[in-house]
Structure 1
């Protein structure tokens, strides 16, 4: 919080004389651009403000010292605008920074100049991370905006007739509203539309002339704006749908009241097309890094084929089911498919079906309407399928999807329509679905744990990822890659591993696959006291389970049984989880289906 001190306002400044107009302008600015606004006179007294700054009206900023070297004092004494990008860590921003009490994150501040005299400053302030990103991504545009607002305030302060007649101020404010890339409309205290910018008119699909002068309820039937005018309480990003004679509209809407003194004199609505809002939500959460097939390491034949398959299926819109043991990199493959195809610019939304509680997964996937259940967020919430519009939804661990929700998922896959929990409206979504599992879905179908129709809808293009044990040729390459990654992240010098460690890694079965290997490399590198990793740095569970060593007392039958078991396991892994895999393996090995089933059972292979 900025350093302030209370003062007397018996002798107001030029800006102080238009305090009411300044507050109206500040409220309008914040309603339009969704940033806090502060207006300070030449004595560093806060004249107007929004949000937390409204409570500071009448107090002095920066201890009242214009020459202390802080932001407002500098702008007033030098007459030049400034942009502070990291306020909380800038000791020249405000004395509260040194005290550790600053809550502002960024600010654009501009002098208010009238007839060659500095009258004060106006600032646009970001107090959240999202606001800071928004402010700095458009800092040049906002700097020009705040300069025009400073001119507006200077004109109000210097022209007596402007104090009596708001027409001049309103005209200039309208011009400024037109320069904003958000859709904006304003209404008076009766709900009559005073202004709608061109962006707003295009979203409403009407001309500005046919909008202005109409009551807002005629344009948006059932809008909550009359309630805002009545009680003075605005709202933030509600989803609202309206029907006109020839089209429907669905917007995300923020409405702020415009207050003069204690009276609500109007309201300003900022609105966006719901599809654009979904994209912005995706951009803000930034759920997954962009990775392509280059991130799938290996030179073995199965991995080369896997990369070729990814590049091929990436160009399709068909659903893909990715199978493989735990730790093989199913999520990496899904991300590579998305980021190698035409949906690259759209969102990639991963959802772990096994990590979300059963009672929450429906609302997470499909969203909910306001009032759908106790504790539902005001205004409702879009689900992951809506956020994935024009992109890709990745359903991780699809085998854990509750049976009761599988029909609803099937309906979305078939119709491309989502219906929110508690809602009655179907929302169209253009979403490609990738899913993965390490479970045997065919067995789950037989046991009535998974719907066969959903399986076939998901499994349009099956991709199986081979386990690490069947591509031992990639072992040393992966080992080097993970060592390099550790060196870059930790800065520790590790030049390699000893030969006995390499031999052990090649012979080990790696039940946790690539994930287990990466974690093992990180453990060894962290524990190594020298620049070469030795067998002593290998986790005990791996040292104690060396594979491939033939015991001297091992019988020929035992050796043959072990070889046969390893061969069958590798062949099953190579074929993957596809329909008729047992018949295919029987044909490959030239044995009957009954013989193969018997061998699999005797060897403990499922």
Structure 2
């Protein structure tokens, strides 16, 4: 807001200059009738109010502020509208020329030329026209100065806002001129360049970023975005993600703005914006059975440390869920959690997936190279699922990383240090694989510093009902249904079924049933056929109280459990027969008797 108080020093100088030029006392007040500048008597009253500060009293200054026109009072002592002092008879002033100060059609104050003696009065009236012209020019001068000050204040405010933004953004910022010298850097640039601002500004950009592509932007004006750049110096190395934008000039760029961040921080940002940032805790693991409660307690205690963990268990038991819970219950929970399925990635690509590769490392490699999962997991946890499927030559490199916390990208020679906690998981018997020379013994002992075995669902009978109700609620919401529960037959089947696919199979079965059910209750016909065939339906009039009936039921249950555990292939049936101590022919006959062929 334009205000005479903001230029009070200039106002006082103008008042003294006017008085010196015309030989008459000068008073300058603002739009609130506060005396801002003046000579002699008025100088002694700086900061006080004229006309009691009330514009509505309709005295001289109030009228001029409202009407915006120059006024002349030739005989102040006889003009009762001049000032309150004329009403009470104490007026000292004899005459006055009063001119408004206008800035952008707004009156921001008044200049008054005041005669206190007869000589001054006669001089003012004799030269009235020239004095009005002069004081109006001085009013314009003050208005221009006030506007200039206000404009500078706005510019300074905007500049402060911009500087605040530049100082608070999470990236380092540099501005270089047309010759490549640094004109500006923010506080994050100081941190990233490991130098003080006074040692950065003024230096050529090549001092910190030798051969930077930003210099080419000065030549062609073509900026670039998120370029990975590595700068090696005697005292330190920098690994940045850099964006450069040209500052337009008349014929060529007059500078470049460079924003950059440490590549580790950039990876964390990518991670935090991805789905992988979903957190899990041990409370998300559903189960009340003794076996699952015990392993949850063990895992919770393990989470507080930094040691490598090996999670074993059958497929579908929730090994990854335990790994996530360990990470998000650990001191590393603010770092990334990166998952690698060693069995799902082709052997030829697994090394580059884990450790990344440099530009041109092999045919088909990305132009800028690629960051590996271990680098992405720096400061957090990497989960190596299906570790038993990792080829032997990579097991050697993994062992080296676990021992030394460093590695090299494929096709590179730069050593990369990482701070990563490793959690591995497998559904295979690694000790048996060691005996068959399919898994390295030294890697096994390095991985299994803290072993955790997740129990299969068949050992968690108390959790089956809890889990199926949990999944029913989940898929009711997902599929917008309102199924109330399960029939008694389904309850019985789910309770007695062996669940070779464990929790994953149970979830899939419930999802299938919710999709196939259009009533309020899940019936047998909505159970997946591969599970439904294991339901025993008593025939009409069937007696189950005799010893023979009980033995038949027990025999069928044994076969059902074995088939659920081993499968239905020829090799699986041969294995079942061997375990039960019967011939393959007897097995087929028994399966036919129980309608299990």
Superposed, 1:88-487 pairs within 5 Å as 177-178=166-167, 180-487=169-476
For normalisation by structure 1, the TM-score amounts to 0.62
Q: Secondary structure at the match of 1:195?
A: strand
Q: CA deviation at 1:566?
A: 7.0
Equivalences for 1:74-85 in 2 at 5 Å? none
Partner Cα separation in structure 2 for residue 461 and residue 297 of structure 1: 23
Alpha-carbon RMSD across the aligned residues, in angstroms, is 3.8
Q: 1:303 offset after TM fit, Å?
A: 0.9
Question: Matched residues in 2 for 1:495 and 1:344: separation?
Answer: 37
CA distance in 1 between counterparts of 2:422 and 2:361 reads 26
Cα shift readout 1:389-412 (whole Å, capped 9, x = no counterpart)? 111111111122233222121111
Q: 1:178 to 1:491 in 2, by over 3 A?
A: closer
1:516 to 486, 489, 505: 505
Check conservation: 1:185, 1:197, Cα contact below 8 A: yes
Retained in 2: the 8 A contact 1:507–1:548? no
Post-superposition CA distance 1:405-457 (Å, at most 9, x none): 22121111111113222222212111111111112222322333222222221
Question: Residues 237 and 379 of structure 1 are in contact (CA less than 8 Å); yes or no, is this contact kept in structure 2?
Answer: no
Partner deviation per Cα, 1:133-153 (whole Å, 9 max, x = no partner): xxxxxxxxxxxxxxxxxxxxx
Number of positions where the alignment pairs a residue of Structure 1 with one of Structure 2: 419
Distance 1:565 1:602 in 2: 16
Aligned residues of 2:534 and 2:560 also touching (Cα < 8 A): no
Q: CA deviation at 1:290?
A: 1.2
Measured against aligned partners, the alpha-carbon deviations of 1:38-83 in whole angstroms (never above 9, x if no partner) come to xxxxxxxxxxxxxxxxxxxxxxxxxxxxxxxxxxxxxxxxxxxxxx
Q: Does 1:495 align with 2:481?
A: no
Q: Distance in 2 between matches of 1:378 and 1:234?
A: 18
What is the CA distance between 1:227 and its match in structure 2? 3.0
Please name the residue that 2:60 is paired with.
none
Change (3 A) 1:332 1:173: closer
Q: Secondary structure at the match of 1:448?
A: coil
Cα displacement (A) at 1:245: 4.7
Q: Shift in Å at residue 183 of structure 1?
A: 0.9
Q: Counterparts of 2:318 and 2:236 in 1: how far apart (Å)?
A: 46
In structure 1, distance between residues paired with 2:518 and 2:171: 58
Contact 1:233–1:257, Cα closer than 8 Å, also in 2: yes
Flag the 1:359–1:260 CA change in 2: closer, same or farther, 3 A: farther
SS of the aligned residue for 1:260 comes to coil
In structure 1, distance between residues paired with 2:503 and 2:532: 18
Asked if 2 retains the 8 angstrom alpha-carbon contact of 1:508 and 1:547, the reply is: no
> Which secondary structure does the structure 2 equivalent of 1:506 belong to?
helix
Give SS of 2:273's match: helix
In the superposition, relative to structure 1, how do residues 479 and 173 fare at CA in structure 2: closer, same or farther (>3 Å)? closer
Name the SS for the 1:466 alignment partner.
coil
Tell me how far apart the structure 2 counterparts of residues 601 and 243 of structure 1 sit (CA, whole Å).
68
- Cα gap change, 1:552 to 1:257, in 2 (>3 Å): farther
Q: State the SS of the aligned residue for 1:264.
A: coil
Structure-2 change in CA distance of 1:474 and 1:534 (3 Å) = same
CA distance in 2, matches of 1:556, 1:176: 80
Alpha carbons of 1:195 and 1:497: their partners in 2 closer, same or farther (altered >3 Å)?
same
> Cα–Cα, structure 1 residues 364 and 233, in superposed 2: closer, same or farther, change >3 Å?
farther
Cα distance, 1:562 vs structure 2: 8.1
TM-aligned CA distance change 1:510 to 1:227, over 3 Å: same
TM-score (norm 2): 0.63
For 2:449 and 2:204, locate their aligned partners in 1 and report how far apart those are by CA, in whole Å. 52
Aligned position for 2:140: none
CA distance in structure 1 between the aligned counterparts of 2:560 and 2:267, rounded to whole angstroms:
51
Q: Retained in 1: the 8 A contact 2:384–2:425? A: yes
CA distance in 2, matches of 1:242, 1:603: 72
Deviation of the 1:243 alpha carbon: 4.0
